[in-house]
């Protein structure tokens, strides 16, 4: 019989943390899984470490040459048999209850196809620092996709059927292929995050993210541009999205352009009648906070007061708490006319 879960890991020269990562999967309380590990052409002792394991749940695949993460994961997906696909990076640590909790949630929520979790950040020595929590509701996650990646790749469990439906990872979005996958999956299934910390995410100098920050950012901006276009139903120039990400403005007109874009995105998102009222309020508040953040450094510039007015229209209570109710009174009425 096919296993319930296929855990897919790709590793390239990951000897330092590999054993710990593998052990955290093998010692899960949920045991009905296969563990597919793709050695992506490693030149260190990675393959030697992998071949010391004789657990029947482990399937080893070896690329003779480095193919990159997206191609290696797609190769793992091709041979996977589980109903669910769980991701695990070769330097991260899954908590013992992770698979059990994620399977339980997906069994109870048939409409959810992608499920992440909160993560605890650890350093190269395993010392913990901050905890990252993400929105749990699909509508809010769709909104957040316009601005960045709201789901941690190594924490994810997905339905294999929906991943196959979008043809897996896109190799053209190197180092941001997970963000691209969530965007495409959001068009065919619902996204969610558990509030529980189910993964220790390791941040260190040798990580893929640390070594490829520029390429990851550039591809992330392209994905953001696609998510924004899908939300608005129209293309937005790449330079505008780059300015949205950089949050650097040479003129007030550039700032106003980004503020109006955020406002339009919010209005387009909350116009969905199927969106629950709670998610609609969360999105409005998040958009208002983004607008306040844009305008606050230039509060003395009268031309920027329009941004405060837009924020007030989206979330008047927040405007009062921020102490800018006067802008709502001065500008809000003008914008309504």
Does residue 225 belong to any structural domain of this protein?
no
| Whether residue 127 sits in one domain with residue 75 | yes
pLDDT band with cut points at 50, 70 and 90 for residue 329: very low
* Lowest-confidence region among 47-56, 180-189, 223-232, 294-303: 294-303
| Whether residue 136 sits in one domain with residue 282 | no
| Whether residue 166 sits in one domain with residue 95 | yes
Residue 232 has pLDDT above 70, yes or no: yes
Does residue 116 belong to any structural domain of this protein?
yes
CATH number at residue 35: 3.90.550.10
Residue 247 has pLDDT above 70, yes or no: yes
| Whether residue 260 sits in one domain with residue 185 | no
Burial 162-192 (b: 16+ CB within 10 A, else e): bbeebebbbeebbbbbbbbbbbbbbeebbbb
Does residue 260 belong to any structural domain of this protein?
yes
Which of 208, 239, 255 is where one domain is finished? 208
The mean pLDDT of the chain is 92
* Owner of token pair 């052990």: 23
| Whether residue 199 sits in one domain with residue 268 | no
Residue 181, domain extent: 5-208
Does residue 237 belong to any structural domain of this protein?
no
Residue 322 has pLDDT above 90, yes or no: no
Nearest to 207 by CA among 89, 40, 37: 89
Domain count, the chain: 2
Residue 303 has pLDDT above 60, yes or no: yes
pLDDT 10s digits, 67-107:
999 999 999 999 999 999 999 999 999 999 999 999 999 99
Long-range contacts from 307-313, C-beta under 8 angstroms, 24+ separation? 307/255, 307/256, 307/259, 309/334, 309/335, 310/259, 310/260, 310/263, 310/335, 311/287, 312/288, 313/263
Percentage with pLDDT > 70 across the chain: 93
Secondary structure (H, E, C), 62-77: EECCCCCHHHHHHHHH
pLDDT, average across residues 133-157: 97
pLDDT band with cut points at 50, 70 and 90 for residue 205: confident
Which of 185, 208, 231 is where one domain is finished? 208
Does residue 179 belong to any structural domain of this protein?
yes
177, 171 Cβ separation under 8 angstroms: yes
* Lowest-confidence region among 132-146, 223-237, 292-306: 292-306
Give the Cα separation of 86 and 21 in Å (integer).
13
Does residue 227 belong to any structural domain of this protein?
no
Which of 180, 208, 236 is where one domain is finished? 208
What token pair was written down for 59? 């399937």
Does residue 72 belong to any structural domain of this protein?
yes
Does residue 234 belong to any structural domain of this protein?
no
pLDDT, average across residues 164-183: 96
pLDDT 10s digits, 1-25:
899 999 999 999 999 999 999 999 9
| Whether residue 156 sits in one domain with residue 18 | yes
Which pLDDT score, from 0 to 100, does residue 209 have? 62
What token pair was written down for 279? 């998610």
| Whether residue 179 sits in one domain with residue 57 | yes
Which pLDDT score, from 0 to 100, does residue 98 have? 98
CA 335 to chain centroid:
34
| Whether residue 280 sits in one domain with residue 178 | no
| Whether residue 159 sits in one domain with residue 253 | no
pLDDT, average across residues 278-286: 96
Residue 246 has pLDDT above 50, yes or no: yes
What token pair was written down for 147? 């601005």
Which pLDDT score, from 0 to 100, does residue 323 have? 52
């Amino acid at each position: 019989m096919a296993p319930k879960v296929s855990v897919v890991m790709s590793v390239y020269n990951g000897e330092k943390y590999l054993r710990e990562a593998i052990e955290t999967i093998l010692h899960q309380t949920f045991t009905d899984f296969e563990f597919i590990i793709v050695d992506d052409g490693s030149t260190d002792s990675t393959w030697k470490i992998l071949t010391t394991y004789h657990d029947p749940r482990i399937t080893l695949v070896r690329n003779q040459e480095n193919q990159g993460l997206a191609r290696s994961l797609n190769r793992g997906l091709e041979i996977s048999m589980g109903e669910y696909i769980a991701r695990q990076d070769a330097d991260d640590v899954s908590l013992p209850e992770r698979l059990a909790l994620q399977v339980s949630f997906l069994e109870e929520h048939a409409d959810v196809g992608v499920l992440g979790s909160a993560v605890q950040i650890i350093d190269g020595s395993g010392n913990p620092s901050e905890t990252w929590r993400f929105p749990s509701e699909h509508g809010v996650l769709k909104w957040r996709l316009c601005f960045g990646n709201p789901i941690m790749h190594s924490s994810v469990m997905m339905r294999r059927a929906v991943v196959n439906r979008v043809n897996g990872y896109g190799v053209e979005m190197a180092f941001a292929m997970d963000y691209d996958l969530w965007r495409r999956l959001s068009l065919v299934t619902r996204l969610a995050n558990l509030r529980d910390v189910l993964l220790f995410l390791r941040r260190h100098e040798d990580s893929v993210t640390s070594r490829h920050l520029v390429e990851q950012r550039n591809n992330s901006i392209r994905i953001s541009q696609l998510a924004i276009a899908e939300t608005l139903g129209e293309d937005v120039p790449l330079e505008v999205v780059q300015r949205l990400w950089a949050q650097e403005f040479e003129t007030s007109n550039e700032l106003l352009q980004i503020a109006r874009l955020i406002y339009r995105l919010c209005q387009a998102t909350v116009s969905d009648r199927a969106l629950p009222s709670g998610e609609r309020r969360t999105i409005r508040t998040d958009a208002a906070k983004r607008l306040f953040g844009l305008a606050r450094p230039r509060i003395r510039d009268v031309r920027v007061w329009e941004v405060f007015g837009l924020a007030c229209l989206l979330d008047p209570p927040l405007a009062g708490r921020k102490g800018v109710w006067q802008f709502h009174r001065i500008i809000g009425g003008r914008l309504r006319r």
